[in-house]
Amino acid sequence: MHASQTGQCPLCNEDGGRVVWRSEGWRLVHAGEAAFPAFYRLICNRHVAEWSDLPASERALAMEAVTLVECLLREHLQPDKINLATLGNVVPHLHWHVIARFGWDSHFPNPVWGAELRLSPQPEIAAVVQALPALEQALASRLDAHFSEGGTHG
C-alpha cells in the first residue's frame, strides 16, 4: 500500500481500542464494545492488508498469539463460544477479532455484526467487566513471554 493510503488508515493512526499489550510488531486492544465486554483485537503494528502478506514465521507467531488470547479468555471467563475473525473489509489493515461470546449476549448465536436478538443483561455484563483486569494482566504477561520466545517479529 502506498504511503498516502496508509496515512488514511485508522489502525495506522490510532490504537484501535484500549491497549492491553504492545510489542514491536503487534498490539492487543480491548475493543470497547459495550454489548460485548470481552471483545479484543490483535493488530499488526505495520500496515499489512492481508494475512498472506506476512512471512510464514510471522504468521505462525501471530496465530499462536491468537490462540493464546482465546485460551486465556476461555480460562478466565468460561464463555459459551469464542469467535475469531479477520475481515478488513472496512479497515484493510491486518487485525484479528477474538471475541468471547455468551448465550445471554444481545446477538448470540448471531455474529456480533448481525442482528440484535435481545438486550444483554447488565449483571452478566458487569460480571465479565469485573473479571477483565485479571484477564488482561495474564494476557500481557503471556503475550510478552510468547513474543520474547518467538523471535524478533514481536
State what percent of residues in the chain have pLDDT above 90: 88
The predicted pLDDT at position 151 comes to 56
Is pLDDT at 1 greater than 60 in this prediction? no
- The arrangement of strands across the sheet holding 39-44 comes to 18-22, 26-30, 39-44, 95-101, 81-85
pLDDT tens by residue, 56-102: 999 999 999 999 999 999 999 999 999 999 998 889 999 999 999 99
Where are the domains positioned within the chain? 3-150
Bigger pLDDT: 14 vs 6: 14
CB atoms under 10 Å from CB of 81, counted, come to 13
Q: Are 95 and 16 in contact (CB under 8 A)?
A: yes
Mean pLDDT estimate for the chain: 92
Q: Which of 97, 62, 61 is nearest to 82 (CA)?
A: 97
Hey, what's the cell of 118?
A: 435481545
Mean pLDDT of 97-124: 96
CATH code of domain 3-150: 3.30.428.10
- End-to-end alpha-carbon separation of the chain, Å? 22
Say how far apart CA 69 and CA 39 lie, in whole Å. Answer: 11
